[in-house]
Amino acid sequence: MGTTEQEAVRAAVERVADRMADEKEYLTDLDSAIGDADHGANMNRGFRAVHEKVSEMDDAPPDELVKTVGITLVSEVGGAAGPLYGGSFMTASAELGDGITAESSVAFAEVFLEKVKDRGDAPVGAKTMVDAITPAVHTYKKSIEEDDLKPVEALTKAVDACERGVNFTTPIRATKGRASYLGWRSVGHQDPGATSTLFIVKSIRETAVE
Amino acid sequence: MGTTEQEAVRAAVERVADRMADEKEYLTDLDSAIGDADHGANMNRGFRAVHEKVSEMDDAPPDELVKTVGITLVSEVGGAAGPLYGGSFMTASAELGDGITAESSVAFAEVFLEKVKDRGDAPVGAKTMVDAITPAVHTYKKSIEEDDLKPVEALTKAVDACERGVNFTTPIRATKGRASYLGWRSVGHQDPGATSTLFIVKSIRETAVE
Amino acid sequence: MKKLINEPSAVVDEMLDGMVSAHPDELRRLADTNVLVRNDAPVSDKVAVVSGGGSGHEPTHAGYLGPGMLDGAAAGEVFTSPTADEISEMIQACDSGKGVLNVVKNYEGDVMNFETAGELAEMESDVEVAEVVVNDDVAVEDSLYTSGRRGVCGTILVHKVAGAMADRGEELDEVKRVAEKVIDNVATMGTALTSCVTPEKGEPTFDLAEDEIELGIGIHGEPGVERVEMMSADEITERLTEKVFDDLSPSSGAEVLTIVNGMGGTPLSELYVVNRKLQSMMEERDFMTWDAWVGDYMTSLDMQGCSVTVLVLDDELKELLAHPAATPALTVQ
Amino acid sequence: MKKLINEPSAVVDEMLDGMVSAHPDELRRLADTNVLVRNDAPVSDKVAVVSGGGSGHEPTHAGYLGPGMLDGAAAGEVFTSPTADEISEMIQACDSGKGVLNVVKNYEGDVMNFETAGELAEMESDVEVAEVVVNDDVAVEDSLYTSGRRGVCGTILVHKVAGAMADRGEELDEVKRVAEKVIDNVATMGTALTSCVTPEKGEPTFDLAEDEIELGIGIHGEPGVERVEMMSADEITERLTEKVFDDLSPSSGAEVLTIVNGMGGTPLSELYVVNRKLQSMMEERDFMTWDAWVGDYMTSLDMQGCSVTVLVLDDELKELLAHPAATPALTVQ
Ligand SMILES: Nc1ncnc2c1ncn2[C@@H]1O[C@H](COP(=O)(O)OP(=O)(O)O)[C@@H](O)[C@H]1O
Ligand SMILES: Nc1ncnc2c1ncn2[C@@H]1O[C@H](COP(=O)(O)OP(=O)(O)O)[C@@H](O)[C@H]1O
Ligand SMILES: [Mg+2]
Ligand SMILES: [Mg+2]
Ligand SMILES: [Mg+2]
Ligand SMILES: [Mg+2]
């Protein structure tokens, strides 16, 4: 049943899907406070579909699998999160064409971040998923390229960085996404999209550790 | 300012109006349980208008005053209570053409009851104001005509009778009025219209006692 | 209670003014009354069709004023029938000499006030008044022991059909005849998920727990005939529709018009969910839906819930239903 | 939470089916999508006007499908924009060769999905796609520090005007031009007395005390820009309308169209009370109300509250607004 790499992608997807199901209400509660109370439902619907699709793809190489993750998110999630996560998985998947290595995973992460920023036009500090993705990607890249850490170790650092990004969203004012409509009232609330990013990064790390 | 009889009618009207204002919520609560939650507002609106109208009529004889009570109720109350109370005051007022005496008050009471039953087509036991008016009128008539009581004493008996009529409405099933739509669920609730009848009869008695 | 109102006692007055200012060319208010009429009333050489009742059922009644439907609408206080004197003024203002049909919803207050009004009007002028009493609510048994079935959402269809017949220039007895044909062939049953809140009382008329609903409600915030556990939309639709079918027992292949009517506080999306089930029941039983209406036609303020109405059709009714109407709440082209 | 639904996750699907079964001759659903289109789409030799967005705003969007308004409407999950692939299918199904105008409400999710969809559609066929983004909500400052003003109830007017222009057979750039003219001249501000309850969450999105309301809400159950004490209908209307006037600053004597839009759970009677005050403000300031709409046009499920929209008119806009339209939710004759 496929290579270790294929298995790893499938395992990560399953883990993310489980996590989104578990955290559905939590994410929706965060989105209630400063958005429209659907981020949990959106992510759960999206990754349930991704999990189904990916389970059926027996022989696809990892880049195909990840591309499917993206396409499925685009066509199942809707909202802001759909094109942001979906489009980024789709585009970045091309970096995994020669397999998942330390280098290719760094390239993947960089393109992913770039694509999110492109689509959403959100700078760091706008209180969006960009605030969680940016530190995670920067830290991962530096850990691999400068500190010569192994991917699993780098992922552990990335989780930690991502978490700080999530925490950073709480005390700042939103200037992008629905929360921006609230103006100063958005201060004091954690961003739901940043939080779902953390769940994804955590799940990938857990899969890598196994 | 006018004869004692005129004064008495005006005083009674004022007393009823005050009473309806005080009991507005109570009547509406009763109507919430088995009707449409407006009997208090209806009676209060009606007697407030009656009070205003009657205060302005300086020289009118008592039958004119009572007729005005009726006309005003018809055009201010609406609902079931408007035509029932209003029409009956209007028609029965003719009995007071020669002044308010023991006899004429009995005649008034009898015509009043008749008119309510005519308009509303409700027998005794249908859980309506008829159940309160009937014992009050029967007892008043008998107290005057058979027992030779004075009107004030007869009114005291009538209040007692009326109260029993009100209490009687609680344990029976409504077959007329909005409460009838509830079928057996109307059992256990006191009829609002019967209750407002009691307030009227009580107010008349209190005026007479003075 | 929070409502977009000023003084609770001024709601009806201000609502009527707001309605006229939304439709200044179509409607006007009779001075010192709560009666709205078509701006061009009395319409010459036409039987007038008028209605009225308590407020709180918007767009009923004044929303159906206009060519092809009503000529006059008398508004009472919230859930309280209008007074006889105002109804009488309305009748006289709408009469062109060809007579007036009162469309009354069966409930003693309305019936008594309309009767008194008819007498008043006939005393004051020589208007010819006829009356029909709508009683489409199948929740309430029609027996010696009740004051009969209530008039609810089916009333709209009486307005439509009688209004069309009058618009065609027919005589009063003909207009009355088709109104009665609708009454004989229409049935409705409703449910409340929540109570309504009247402006005067400011609190729910009845309390319903989170897992309870009322079946067989009227349109005045009265409790229904039965309190049951909350069910799915499909189950509720079945309960309501079965009862309506039982009453009408249309024959297989019958053509019908259906209404899924919102009680005022229910989103349109939910009414469409109910309509989906209703139409699948129609198909199962081999009835033909000639037209399906979905929306708020006869409401109870902010109540959440709906009612299902079915009218069994013949060719005459179909023609009259298809006759043009141009009113604030209903347009047929 | 009690709702007339079956499974919360099936609401959109079942609502769309219920809508089609209420209007089988007028609408159809594209297989395996949440897209409804005019039954006769693509209408030959006509620019198609399409829209879409999250569900929960009924009658928006599919209620405005029909001659003189929209050709296609893509429904997302409740308050979630539709996905790019379905929007793209809609665009292709509606194109007659004359091009398609996407009417998008400004909000990043919709904008991103519609953009992606346009690219997909142009990749897959040679359809010409243009887009306008409606941003009429003046509650939100339009500055570097926000993602711009939201698109809310004014969108209906864009549908109406662009739809009329397309119906006249004009070219895509002309249809787009008049849509943009509406966008430049329309402003809206809304208030919530209660939060809405989404089927998925089953609880209010935000909590409001008995004496609080939110000003400057959007249409997705987001809290507004300010929480204030409950006020009378007249005061609320003033707060909303002042802000709208500030934005548009119409010149004295200007002709306008006004909308008092209900958020889904507010009785029509209350909307008329608001309209009364709105129209008296128009008079005071010497603006001419050319037409006043009152009703539920762009809702947030069962939310109680309303919004006030003003569109400043010129002759071209008046002509296009008066152009016939025949849709489930809006008829102009
Ligand atoms: N322009 C943007 N750029 C980056 N992220 C964004 C942008 N807009 C929204 N987001 C992210 O999307 C999240 C909301 O996703 P979701 O609730 O699924 O979509 P919606 O806002 O359409 O309801 C926000 O918490 C934020 O992290
Ligand atoms: N047919 C009737 N005959 C006699 N009394 C009636 C009849 N119908 C209703 N009532 C009385 O009217 C009362 C209700 O009055 P009210 O609430 O003001 O009117 P409505 O029922 O129109 O809301 C009932 O409690 C009952 O006593
Ligand atoms: Mg969201
Ligand atoms: Mg009552
Ligand atoms: Mg009443
Ligand atoms: Mg959303």
> DSSP of C185-217, one letter per residue?
HEEEEEEESS--B-TTT-SBSS---TTEEEES-
| Atom 7 of ligand 2, residue of closest alpha carbon | B177
C-facing residues of D in 187-216 (CB < 8 A) are 193-194, 210, 213
For the beta carbon of residue C144, count every other beta carbon within 10 angstroms: 6
Is residue C33 pLDDT above 90, yes or no? yes
DSSP B83: I
Ligand nearest to the CA of A179: 1
Burial of D229 (0-12, 13-18, 19+ CB in 10 A): exposed
- Whether residue B101 is predicted with pLDDT greater than 70 in this model: the reply is yes
Smallest Cα–Cα separation from C154: which of C138, C133, C136? C136
Distance CA D137, CA D235 (A): 19
The fraction of chain B above a pLDDT of 70, given in percent, is 99
Residue A183: which CATH number? 1.25.40.340
Preceding amide of C159 cis, omega within 30: no
* Peptide bond before residue D61 is cis, with ω within 30 degrees of 0: yes
Tracing tokens 């105002």 back to the chain, one arrives at C86
pLDDT of residue C116: 85
Number of domains in chain C: 2
Is C150 a member of any domain?
yes
Ligand 1 atom 1, closest CA: A120
Task: Write out the H or E segment, with its range, that includes residue C59.
Answer: none
C139 and C208 co-located in one domain? no
Residue D160 has pLDDT above 60, yes or no: yes
Q: Compute the distance between CA of residue B151 and CA of residue B205 in angstroms, rounded to an integer.
A: 9
Q: Is a pLDDT exceeding 80 seen at residue C31?
A: yes
Question: How many CB pairs (< 8 A) connect A and D?
Answer: 120
Q: Which ligand is nearest to the CA of B165?
A: 2
- CA separation for the pair D267, B205 (Å, rounded): 44
CA distance readout (Å), B183 to A136, B176, C110, C147, D30: 68, 10, 20, 11, 49
Rounded to an integer, what distance in angstroms lies between the CA atom of residue B41 and that of residue B161? 26
- Considering only CA atoms, which residue is closest to atom 14 of ligand 1? A193
Q: Which of A31, A189, A195 to mutate to test the pocket of ligand 1 (most atoms within 8 A of CB)?
A: A31
More confident residue, B151 or D123: B151
Predicted confidence band of residue C145 (pLDDT cuts 50, 70, 90): low
Instruction: Please count the other Cβ atoms lying within 10 Å of the Cβ belonging to residue C226.
Output: 16
Residues D132 and D194 in one domain: no
Domain range enclosing D78: 9-184
User: Is the bond preceding residue C42 a cis peptide, omega within 30 degrees?
Assistant: yes
State how far residue C247 is from chain B, nearest Cα, in angstroms.
Answer: 17
Query: Average model confidence (pLDDT) for chain D?
Result: 95
CA distance C143 to chain B (A): 9
DSSP string, D102-147: EEEESSHHHHHHHHHHHHHHHHHS---EEEEEE--BTTS--STTSS
How much is the pLDDT for D23?
Answer: 97
Kindly tell me if the per-residue pLDDT of D1 is higher than 90. Answer: no
Mean pLDDT of C128-139: 95
pLDDT > 50? residue A1: no
**CB distance from D264 to chain C under 8 Å?**
yes
Kindly give the pairing relationship between strand C212-215 and strand C186-192.
antiparallel
| Residue in B45, B128, B198 to alter for ligand 2 test, most ligand atoms within 8 A of Cβ | B128
Domain contains C3:
no
From C77, C112, C139, residue closest to B83, measured CB to CB: C112
- Tell whether C294 and C282 lie within a shared domain: yes
Tell me the C-alpha distance between A170 and A178, whole Å: 15
Residues of C recognised as catalytic: 57, 220
**Is D124 a residue whose pLDDT tops 90?**
no
Distance D19 CA to ligand 3 centre (A): 26
pLDDT of residue B128: 97
| pLDDT at res. C120 | 83
Domain boundary among D184, D218, D239: D184
Using the Cα atoms of residue D160, residue D163, residue D167 and residue D171 in order, give the sign of their dihedral.
positive
How many CA atoms, within 13 angstroms, populate the side-chain half-sphere of residue A62? 21
Any ligand 1 atom below 6 A from CB of A76: no
The Cα of D84 is separated from the nearest Cα of chain A by a number of Å equal to 6
- Collapsed DSSP state (helix, strand, coil) of residue B74: helix
**Among partner residues B36, B77, B82, which is closest to C79 by beta-carbon distance?**
B36
The number of distinct structural domains making up chain A is: 1
Tell me the one-letter amino acid at D120. Answer: L
Query: Cis peptide leading into D59, omega within 30 of 0?
Result: yes
pLDDT at D143: 58
Give C155-192 pLDDT, tens digit per residue: 999 999 999 999 999 999 999 999 999 999 999 999 99
C135 inside domain: yes
Average pLDDT, chain B: 94
pLDDT tens profile C195-244:
999 998 898 988 899 999 999 998 988 888 899 999 999 999 999 999 99
Structure confidence at residue B1 as a pLDDT band (50, 70, 90): very low
> Which one of C160, C184, C208 terminates a domain?
C184
Is C250's pLDDT higher than 80? yes
Mark which residues 214-243 of C lie under 8 Å from D by CB: 230, 232-234, 236
Residue C172 lies in a domain: yes
Rg (CA), chain D: 19
User: Mean per-residue pLDDT for B141-151?
Assistant: 95
Identify whether C5 is part of a domain. Answer: no
Q: Which domain holds residue B95?
A: 4-209
- Residue D262 DSSP SS3: strand
Output the CA torsion sign for C207, C209, C210, C211. Answer: negative
Q: In Å, how far are A167, B151, D44, D66, D320 from D40, measured between CA atoms?
A: 53, 82, 9, 9, 22
Q: Check whether residue D150 and residue D280 sit in a common domain.
A: no
Residue B4: predicted pLDDT: 85
User: What's the CA gap between B57 and B68, in Å, rounded?
Assistant: 9
pLDDT given for residue D224 in this prediction: 86
Q: Give the tens place of pLDDT for each residue, A7-50.
A: 999 999 999 999 999 999 999 999 999 999 999 999 999 999 99
Do D194 and D316 fall within a single domain? yes
CATH number of the domain bearing residue D158: 3.40.50.10440
Question: From CA B163, how far away is CA B133, in angstroms rounded?
Answer: 10
- Is position C1 within any domain? no
CA–CA distance from B4 to each of B1, B9, B100 (Å)? 9, 9, 10
Strand, coil or helix: what is C139? Answer: coil
Count other C-beta atoms under 10 Å from residue B104's C-beta: 16
From D58, D269, D306, residue closest to C267, measured CB to CB: D58
Residue C192 and residue C249 in one domain: yes
pLDDT computed for residue C224 by the predictor: 86
Which residue in D has a C-alpha nearest to residue C300's C-alpha?
D267
Say if CB C308 and CB C258 are below 8 A apart: yes
Cβ count near D210 (within 10 Å): 7
Of the candidate ranges D1-5, D69-73, D233-237, the one whose mean pLDDT is the lowest: D1-5
Give the span between the Cα atoms of D196 and D299, in whole angstroms: 10
Give the tens place of pLDDT for each residue, B45-55. Answer: 999 999 999 99
Distance D187 CA to ligand 3 centre (A): 24
Q: Please report the pLDDT score of residue B22 as a whole number.
A: 98
Q: What is the pLDDT of residues D125-140, one digit of tens each?
A: 899 999 999 999 999 8
Residue D318 to residues A165, C69, D289, Cα–Cα distance (Å): 52, 28, 12
- Position C330 in a domain: no
Q: Whose CA is nearest to atom 13 of ligand 1?
A: A193
Reply yes or no on whether the pLDDT at B42 is more than 70.
Answer: yes
d(C-alpha C44, C-alpha B57), whole Å: 42
CA distance D178 to chain A (A): 28
- C238/A41 Cα distance (integer angstroms): 30
Q: Which of D81, D108, D220 to mutate to test the pocket of ligand 1 (most atoms within 8 A of CB)?
A: D108
pLDDT computed for residue A30 by the predictor: 96
Does C208 share its domain with C196? yes
Please give the Cα distance from C276 to C262 (Å, whole number): 15
The answer to whether residues C155 and C267 belong to one domain is no
Same domain? For D177 and D195 the reply is: no
Q: Percent of chain D, pLDDT > 90?
A: 87
Task: Give the chains touching A; criterion: ≥3 Cβ pairs < 8 Å.
Answer: D
Kindly report the CATH number assigned to the domain that includes residue D312. Answer: 3.30.1180.20
Query: Does pLDDT of D152 surpass 50?
Result: yes
Pairwise CA distance, residues D224 & B49, whole Å: 43
- D220, A178: Cβ pair inside 8 Å? yes
Chains with ≥3 CB–CB distances under 8 Å to C: B, D
Q: Mark out chain D residues that contact chain A at CB-CB < 8 A.
A: 9, 54, 76-86, 107-109, 112-113, 116, 139-141, 144-147, 150, 198, 200-201, 205-206, 218, 220-223, 225
| Residue from A25, A28, A30, A32 whose CB has the most chain D CBs within 10 Å, to mutate | A32
Last residue of a domain, one of C184, C215, C235: C184
Least confident span in B127-141, C14-28, D142-156, D305-319: D142-156
- What pairs with residue C102 in β-bridges? C50, C131
Q: pLDDT tens for residues C85-107?
A: 999 999 999 999 999 999 999 99
D16 touches chain C (CB under 8 A): yes
Q: Is residue C326 part of a domain?
A: no
CB A136 within 8 A of CB A201: yes
Residues lining ligand 2, CB < 6 A?
Answer: B 31, 35-36, 38-39, 42, 79-81, 84, 116, 120-122, 128-130, 176-178, 191-194; C 80, 108-109
